[in-house]
Structure 1
């Protein structure tokens, strides 16, 4: 299956800032999380994909269209929800979505029907006729999402859609993002500085660092098993006693917050049984015993490991088995 986005040597040089540096990237169909610190090039990449900013050099394809010659065709099939608040306070969500749907080419009647549909989908069915100046932050984020979906796009770009939301509203928004990608079959590229969010909703993760591609791979490859166990017992003193007892048994155990990371010194050692028996012998309350998985944060905490993983996985492509890459 062809990628929804392909870049070759994509560079954007603002003079004082090199926002993107010879970026080679392929984004597969599905939901892709775009990760990176401030200044990594995320927003610049989205603006280039929309045709709002011209690259210094390089080539970009979006949904098979060459952005240099077919920018209008790209905008017809791509929706965009910006990070910053840009909604007119004296306009209702219904009027805004209808207007933008008509600008995208829908007739008035179809635009009204589509607006009602997407506003109900995002949870603004009852409030769609109210002026958006009286909306909460969560409602305003939903209105931005609705207008991005108004013209039935094939790809939606969401820039920090959970920005400013409380935990409950954030969970609701993430559920909407997941439904767009998995229930409606619309590919999504979503940015967030909260990396745990992207683990929950993304099929693929792309990590940018200083305008370059640090890693791109399936989310489950980021979250593969580390070969260690996470062990939690009741109390810091109990944790230290458990660590000492496991060390005496030839098992490495290191504190991680209130828990221990435990690694077997010998392949044949049944670590789980040892942990359980040790907790019982010491009279400790065993709260948790589970396999440790990597997190997206580990790519930033240990970039050398990320480089090795990227080299091992090869170039990013639409091949579902080999999407990791490094520039």
Structure 2
């Protein structure tokens, strides 16, 4: 069982002008942002600065400059207290060979300050919640990939923290396993009131469970906030579906100044109508050409388009270099660090 967390007053994370150097290399560049409690996506390409940001929040490294708070506690002065308020699920396997699942999760609880008996009881509860009760006495190396991911999540949850930091929680999972993990994370955030920061290169994972997003590129924050507020809403772009002779209708629309950027299927197309048109004009033309428009859906920017727009804009603004274009719309270009 996972206890509901008390609502956090104020931002769950707030940073002001935070920079991080490794020698002469600057991994974070004057990072300033705040995010509210809830499910938060952290996205960026390989080397963008996500791992450094997670290490800062966990208190594993001190910022070279700047200041910040997590759950209202100072990143530097109160970092020992913060560690008991956060759970971390690393991308690396991080399991101990020869140790049973229940003992590993209980050990994670003890390392967070729980008495042994309480940690063991909580380990049984969390493993049951994550459907690992029948495997709790198996050795870690005997778990499947999906079970290992849930075991790592159990270790992050055992001390019942209000904030979870998750690094690639769906890595290595098949479609069913990925779907199951995302459903678990959504339930943890929505039903139990936990805040979570999900670091991943899979934009679909963020789009599915997160309300807010942090977009980082080359150590700089390009966008932060509620996904719906960051997206562009195009007034004159629609997804049109029809029944009948769509070719005649499309030709008539294009003759009137409509552009057709793409056609996902034979009976549908994305269209951009002129500024002085209204959707009614499209329906009137469809009647003239004896074609039924079954759907005319406003087309808003999706998370993939938002990400690549911000990264592309930042690359254009830089004096040298250019943003690497993603190969598809499902992920950022390259695996994250």
Same fold by TM-score greater than 0.5: yes
Deviation at 1:246, TM superposition (A): 1.7
2:130 corresponds to which of 113, 122, 131: 122
What corresponds to 1:153 in structure 2?
A: 161
Cα distance in 1 for residues equivalent to 2:68 and 2:58: 11
Say which of 261, 275, 293 aligns to 2:270.
261
Residue 18 of structure 1: aligned partner: 26
Q: Residue 281 of structure 1 aligns with which residue?
A: 290
Query: Across the two proteins, how many residue pairs are aligned to each other?
Result: 302
Q: Which of residues 188, 193, 196 is equivalent to 2:204?
A: 196
Alpha carbons 2:223, 2:310 under 8 Å: kept: no
RMSD of aligned C-alpha atoms? Answer: 2.5
Tell whether the 8 Å contact from 1:231 to 1:260 is kept in structure 2 after alignment.
yes
- The residue number in structure 2 matching 1:57 is 65
Cα displacement (A) at 1:138: 0.9
SS in 1 for 2:88: strand
Q: Taking structure 1 as reference, are residues 274 and 148 closer, same or farther at Cα in structure 2, changes over 3 Å only?
A: farther
Q: Structure 2 matches for 1:128-147, cutoff 5 A?
A: 128-147=136-155
- 1:224 to partner: Cα distance: 5.5
Q: 1:229 aligns with which of 238, 242, 256?
A: 238
Q: Is the 8 A contact 2:44 2:215 kept in 1?
A: yes
1:243 and 1:254 in contact (8 A); partners too? no
Provide the rounded CA distance (Å) in 2 between the counterparts of 1:92 and 1:56. Answer: 40
Instruction: Give the Cα separation in 2 of the matches to 1:52 and 1:251.
Output: 55
Tell me, in whole angstroms, the C-alpha distance in 2 between the residues paired with 1:275 and 1:261: 16
Superposition map of 1:80-95 within 5 A: 80-95=88-103
- Out of 293, 304, 319, the position equivalent to 1:297 is 304
1:246 is matched with 253
Name the residue aligned to 1:316: none
In structure 2, the residue corresponding to 1:172 is in which secondary structure?
helix
- The answer to whether the 8 Å contact 1:251/1:264 transfers is yes
Are 1:168 and 2:169 matched, yes or no? no
Label 1:289 to 1:137 Cα distance change in 2 as closer, same or farther (>3 A): farther
Greater Cα shift, 242-251 or 212-221 = 242-251
Task: Confirm or deny: 8 A CA contact 1:89 1:134 kept in the other structure.
Answer: no
SS of equivalent to 2:48: coil
Q: Name the SS of the counterpart of 2:290 in structure 1.
A: helix
Cα pair distance change 1:73/1:299, threshold 3 Å: same
- CA distance in 2 between counterparts of 1:145 and 1:276 reads 53
Q: Which has the larger displacement, 143-152 or 6-15?
A: 6-15
Q: Tell me: CA distance 1:136–1:274, structure 2 relative to 1, closer, same or farther (3 Å).
A: farther
Contact 1:100-1:147 at 8 Å conserved across structures? yes
8 A Cα contact 2:47 2:218, kept in partner: yes
Secondary structure, in 3 states, of the residue corresponding to 2:134? Answer: coil
The equivalent of 1:312 in structure 2 is none
Is residue 102–residue 108 contact of structure 1 (8 Å, CA) maintained in 2? Answer: yes
Distance 2:250 2:63 in 1: 54
